Each structure stands twice: as C-alpha cells, then as structure tokens.
Amino acid sequence: MGIWQKELITGLLLFLAVSIVGGMTGLFMPLALVLTLGMFMRQLFQINRFERWIRTGGRTKYPKTTGVWEEIYYHVYRIKKNEKKRKKKLGRMVDQFRQSTEALPDAAVVLGTNDEIEWANKAAREVFGLQQTDKGQRIPNLIRFPDFIRYLKSGNYSEPVILTSPVDSRITLAVRIVTYGAGLRLLLAQDVTQLKKMERMRKDFVANVSHELRTPLTVLKGYLETLQDMDDGKSPLLTTSFQQMHGQTERMQHLVDDLLLLTRLETKQQKTECVNIPALLSQICKEAETVHGKASSPVGIEARIELSLETDVHIVGEEQELRSAFTNLLGNALKYSPEDSVVKVRWYVSKDDIVLDVEDQGEGIAAIDIPRVTERFYRSEAKRIKKVGGTGLGLAIVKHVLMRHDAKLNIVSELGKGSRFSCHFPVKRVCN
C-alpha cells in the first residue's frame, strides 16, 4: 500500500471513530472540531520542524518521524547527499585540471571580456613576470609590447605573434589567443627560442654557403668560356662536354642567386616606395619577349605575351622584389607552355583587391602538385623526368615577395589546359 493511501485510510478511520462516538454521545460537532484541530496542529508542527531542518542546510540526519513526512525527509536527504557527492567529484576534477595546467610547460592565461586576467598558470607567471596579485588586472597594462597590444585588439588570432619575454630578453615566445565560451579567451605562449635559433642558423648557413659558392663558380665559368673560345671543334666530345659544363655552371649560378635572394627576402628590412606596376609590367614583358624570343622563334614571339593594363593603380612596395616575382611568373608561363601559344598578363581592379593574372595555355599542374609548387625545390615529377631547366625556387620567391606585400597567390590550373597564377594585392597598398 502506498504512503498516501495509508495517510488517507488513517484519516478516514479517525473520522469514522469520531462519527460513532459522536453519534452515541450526541457530541459529534465538538469531537469533529477537536479532530480537525489536532490534525492541523500536527501538520503545522511537522512543517515547522522541516523548515528548521532545511534552514540549517539539511546536513544532519533528519529527525525521526512517520508517514508521508518520513518520505519527504528521506527524498530531500538523498538529493542533498547526491549533490554533495557530485560537488566533491567536480572539485576533484577542477583540482586535477588546475594541477595539470600548472604543470604545463606552456604559459596559459585566461582572459575575461575586458582583457583582465582571470587565471594564470605557473609558466605564465614565470615568462610574463605575472604575480598572484595581478588577477583582475588588464593584460595590456602588464605586457606592453605594441605588437602584442595590436594582436590582442585585432581579434584575428589565426597566426601567433612572436614576442620576447618581458622578464628575459633571451627568451622568444610564440603567443596565440584561443577564443571560447562567451567572450572568454585563453592566451597561450610557447617558448620558441630554440626553434628561432635553429631557423637563424639555417638561414645563416644557406646565406654563407651561397655566398661562398659565388666566387668559385664565376672563376669556373670564366675558364670554361676561355676553353670554349679555344676549342677548334675537332673533337665533338670536347665541344659537347664544354657546352654541358657551361650549362650546369649557369644553372648553379641561378641556384645560388635564387638562394641569396630568398635569404634576403627572409632577413632584409623592406624599403618601400610607390611602384608604378603598369610601367614595371610593360618593361618585364618587353624583356621576356626579347630573351625568350631570341631563344626560340623570333617571328611568332611578338604575339606570345598579351599584356592588358586595365587600371593605372600603383602599389606600395619594393620594385626590385616585385620585379623578381613577376619575372618568375612570366618566365614559368613561357617555359611551361608551347611556343605558339599565348600568355596573358592582366592588371586589374577586382571587387575586393587589385590583381595581376599571368595565364598560360600550357601543360598545367596536377591537382596534387598545386599546394606544393611554392615549396622550396619542389618540382613536379614530370619536370624532373623531362629535365626542364629550373631551380625549383622561383615560386618560393614569388610567395615570399607577395607575403612581404600583404598579397596572396592563387593558382588555378588543369593538366593539359593551362594555368592561371593570380597575385591579389589588398586595397590598403594602393598609392596613386
């Protein structure tokens, strides 16, 4: 039998007893009144006791009682107990999380909506020199590097910002912000000192080797040219050997020049000016026509490059760098397309940016090669097999130059149909 049925039956039995006794004595009304009053007082007492128990948090074992009130006490007590258990478990999890983040080698700082520090781990306190008391302080007041403040304000956290530690200038940090929840941000800083050192060593090594190779190569080429001049052509083997040696020396010279240019692009400060792109493109196309024209058919070449200057927009940048990039793109288009096909060069304003298109009707690039062609020394298998001349550094140079001009390279290509290399310059670079 359920607890409510029991309560009901007890009430009914009491009422029945009062009715019988009341009927026999003629005191039904006073007895019924006494019964109702008694029941009311009992409930009032129970409510009062329950309120006192719950007011103290229901922490102690509940008082002894019977009927429906025992059930109520039991359920509330059980809910409280489970809640306590859950709280304990949650507390343990938070502790574990705190301990693990404290032990992280990377610095982590939780930032609130107003850039205030909500929490920081041990590594963050060490590399940024933060104190426990800095909680609640705005981070731009503590890390005052302009680069960092700009990064924080930008809201674009896709790339990390490189900073030196405010505590120790020998430590280089890659700082990245990750957004989560409602307006919360997690600032992560990784010590990249070693990585940066290795990168610097690699750059220095490439620069030194390339530089040192320059002189021996010039001497070698000089002697080879002298020997070629002296060659009377009596030995075909000697003649072809000289030719091949000369070709390979020239290739090595290109390689060294390209490596030195890449090193300069990585290390040198940019000297910017307002570059007249239409004039630059006209000049480059004219030069390419002359160079490639002489090498192949002098008659058809005039029509090979179709230059269309649809805007007179100039760009803020470094002319020498832009010249290298554009020359490489045009050189590739001419190199990787048939001699009787057209190469289109187009300078125009699009919806969002200023664009230079270099389009050819050549052999195209396989889809799997497209993402990799801008890597250093990457050349598609077909080029290696066919031994088409080149260093594999041209597009790496293009990518670097464009990056230094806040521009992007877009490649659309289909095997057998041709390729279109588009350089997208942002409007903020326009200068005339």
317 is an interface residue for ligand ADP by CB under 6 A: no
- Distances from the Cα of 341 to the Cαs of 196, 297, 394, 408, in angstroms? 46, 12, 22, 27
Question: In angstroms, what is the minimal distance from the CB of 175 to ligand ADP?
Answer: 33
Residue closer to ligand ADP (CB basis): 382 or 431: 382
Q: Which of 121, 165, 327, 391 binds ligand ADP (CB under 6 A)?
A: 391
383 in contact with ligand ADP (CB under 6 A): yes
Question: Could you tell me which stretch among 92-100, 122-130, 134-142, 372-380 binds ligand ADP (CB under 6 A)?
Answer: 372-380
Question: Taking the complex as a whole, how short is the minimal distance between the CB of residue 381 and ligand ADP, in angstroms?
Answer: 9
CB of 424: closest distance to ligand ADP in angstroms? 17
Length of the chain measured in residues: 432
Q: Tell me how far CA of residue 212 lies from CA of 77, 204, 206, 236, in angstroms.
A: 84, 12, 10, 34
The reply on whether position 390 binds ligand ADP by CB under 6 A is yes
User: Residue 265, interface with ligand ADP (CB under 6 A)?
Assistant: no
DSSP state letters, 363-413: S---TTTGGGTTSTT---HHHHHHT----S-HHHHHHHHHHHTT-EEEEEE
Judged by CB under 6 A, the residue of 362, 400, 404, 407 near ligand ADP is 362
Kindly state the DSSP code that residue 301 receives in the 8-state scheme: G
Which CB sits closer to ligand ADP, 180 or 377? 377
Nearest to 207 by CA among 258, 270, 250: 258
Tell me: does residue 359 bind ligand ADP (CB under 6 A): no
d(CA 405, CA 322): 9
CA separation for the pair 288, 64 (Å, rounded): 102
Q: How far apart are the C-alpha atoms of 403 and 410, rounded to whole Å?
A: 12
Both structure tokens of 363: 């052999």
- Residue 317 or 394: the one with the smaller Cβ distance to ligand ADP is 394
Window 274-313: contact mask with ligand ADP (x via CB under 6 A): ----------------------------------------
- The residues binding ligand ADP (CB under 6 A) are 328, 332-333, 336, 360, 362-365, 373, 378-380, 383, 390-396, 419
